Chains A and B, each alone.
Chain A
Amino acid sequence: MSDLVADLLAGKHSALARVITKIENRSPGYREVISDLHQHTGTADVIGVTGSPGAGKSTLVDKVAATYRERGLTVGVIAIDPSSPFSGGAVLGDRIRMASNAGDMDMFFRSMSARGSLGGLSTATTDAVTALDAFGKDKIIVETVGAGQNEVDIVRTADTVAVLVPPGSGDDVQMLKAGILEIGDVFVVNKADLDGADRTVQQLREMLQGQSGRPNSGHHGATELAGDHGDASTDDADAVDDEPETWDPPIVETVANRGDGVEDFLNALATHGEYLDRTGRREGQARERFAAEIRTLLREDANELLVDELDRRGGIEQYVDAVIERHTDPYTVVDEVLSPLRECLDDPGDGS
C-alpha cells in the first residue's frame, strides 16, 4: 500500500485531495490507489443532484451539507462544471455558494472540470466517490448540470438522485421528459417563492403520473415491472400488496438560499434510502453499478490495447488509404487486426 493511500485512510485531508487529483489526471499509479481503496468503501450514502444551470443546485447542496454537519455527519461534495472546449481551461465557481460550510474541513468540497472528455468523466467521478467513501465520509453529494446522457451517467454513481427544477420553466419541464425525468428519485422545485412555482409543481406532478406503468420502481433501469397501481400516492404505498413495492418520486418545494424546505428535502432523501434498504434495491443498484464499471473499464482498456496494436501495424492511415483505394474494406481491416486476439482467446490450451 502506498503512503498516499495510508495517509488517506488515516484521515489526512491533503492526501484525499491528492488522490482525487491523481484520478483526474489519470496519473501513473492511480489504478493501484483505487484498487487499494476499494475494500474500505461501501459505507457512504451517495446522493446525486442535477438540474439546469441556475436551478440552485450549489446553494441547495450547501444547505444540505450544512444540515448534515449539524447532525454530526461528515460530508463530501463533488461539483462538476463544464470546461472550455477551446482552451481546456475552466472557471469552477460552485465553491462560491459554499458559504455555510466555510472553513469546515470535515466538509470536503471538490470542483471537477469536465475536461472535454465527458465519457471519461463518469469513470473519474466514480473513482472520486470511491476515494471519499474510503476516507470515511457519511454522505457524498455529486452535483452536475443535467444536460444529456453523460450527466445521466455521472449521476448514476448515486444511490438517490434529486432533480432540481426552477419555477416558470415550462419548456424546461418539457425538456426534462427526455431523460432526466426517468432518473429522478426526488424532484425539487427550488426558488419556490417565485411566481410560477405552483404551476411547475403541477406540471411535474402530471408528468410523473403520466409515467405510471413505466418500468420504473427505483431508477437506473429497474428490472421489475411497475404494477397497475401507478396512480397510488405515496401515502398508501405500504398497502398490502404482492406486487413489488414501487417508488413514486415525491416533489419537494424549497427556497434554498433561505434554507426553507431543506428539512423536507432531507426527509425525502431519507425515505428513499429506507425504501432502497427495505426492498433490497440498494444492493441491486450497487450490483448494476459495478457491472457497468467493469464493462466501461474493459472497454477503455481493450481500446487502449487496440490503439497500441494499430500503431505497431503502422497506424490507421494506411488502412484508410487501402479502404479508399477499394483494396479492402473496414470489416476486413477489423478482422485482420483482431485475428491474433481472437486466436488467443479461442485457444483453450493457452494461459487458462
Chain B
Amino acid sequence: MSVEQEQTERTIRCLVAKVGLDGHDRGAHVIARALRDAGFEVIYSGLHRAPDEVVQAAVQEDVDVVGISILSGAHNTLVPKILDGLKEYDAFDDRLILVGGIVPDDDQEELRGQGVDEIFGPGASMEEMIDYIHENAPER
C-alpha cells in the first residue's frame, strides 16, 4: 500500500483545547463541530485546562492536530508550556500545532519561532482552517 493511499484513508484526529482562565468556549464548540463535519475525529478538552492536561490529551489521544484556543491574552505564558510538554513526551515533531484566538502580530512572530505552525485570528474562515489541516497534516 502506498503512503499516499494510506494518507487519504487515514482519519485525522484533532484536539480542540481551551487553556487557562478563559471561559469563552463558543468558538471552540463551533470549530469542533466544523471539524467533525469535515470528517475529522475531534477530542474536545473542556474548559479551563492546564497546559499539562493539554499535553496529556495530545499524547494519549495521539492527535495529528493540537488546536489551542486562547482568548485571554495569556498565550505567551501557556503555549510555550504546552510545546515544552509535547517535546518532553516526544510528541512534538509529528504534530500540527495551531493556535486560535486574538494574538498580536509581534506575539505571532514569537509563537511561530517556538514551534506553532499556524495562528488563526478573528475573521479566519472554517474552510481556510480545514484546508490548512488537510494540506499540512503530518505524514506518519
Point out residues on A near B: beta carbons under 8 Å.
Answer: 12-14, 17-18, 20-21, 24-25, 27-28, 83-84, 87-93, 95-96, 99, 102-105, 108-111, 113, 115
Contacts and interface: CB of A to CB of B under 8 A. Distances in A.
A110 B61 contact: yes
Contacts of A13: 59-60, 89
Contacts of A113: 11, 41
Nearest to B29: A91
B49 A87 contact: no
B59 A17 contact: yes
Nearest to A25: B10
B90 A88 contact: no
A115 B11 CA distance: 9
Interface of B: 1, 6, 9-11, 13, 32-33, 35-46, 49-50, 52-53, 55-57, 59-62, 89-91, 140
Contacts of A28: 1, 6
Contacts of B36: 84, 87, 89-91
Contact of B39 (A24, A87, A103, A111): A87
B33 A91 contact: yes
Contacts of B53: 102-103
A88 B62 CA distance: 18
Given A25-B11, A89-B40, A90-B42, A110 B33 contact: no
Nearest to A105: B56
Contacts of B37: 84, 87, 89
A96 B32 CA distance: 14
Nearest to A20: B62
A51 to B, nearest CB: 21
Contacts of B61: 17, 95, 110-111
Contact of A89 (B38, B57, B59): B38
B45 A95 contact: yes
Contacts of A108: 60
A14 B89 contact: yes
Contacts of A21: 13, 62, 140
B78 to A, nearest CB: 14
Contacts of A111: 41, 43, 61
A123 B60 CA distance: 20
A190 to B, nearest CB: 20
A71 B38 CA distance: 42
26 contacts: A14-B90, A17-B59, A17-B60, A17-B61, A18-B62, A18-B140, A27-B6, A87-B38, A88-B39, A89-B35, A89-B36, A89-B37, A89-B40, A90-B41, A90-B42, A91-B33, A91-B43, A92-B43, A95-B44, A95-B61, A96-B45, A96-B46, A102-B50, A105-B59, A110-B61, A111-B41
A17 B57 CA distance: 10
B59 A95 contact: no
Contacts of B57: 95, 109
Contacts of A92: 41-44
Given A14-B91, A17-B91, A91-B36, 12 more contacts: A13-B89, A14-B89, A14-B90, A17-B62, A18-B62, A27-B10, A95-B61, A99-B46, A103-B56, A104-B56, A105-B59, A113-B11
A284 B134 CA distance: 47
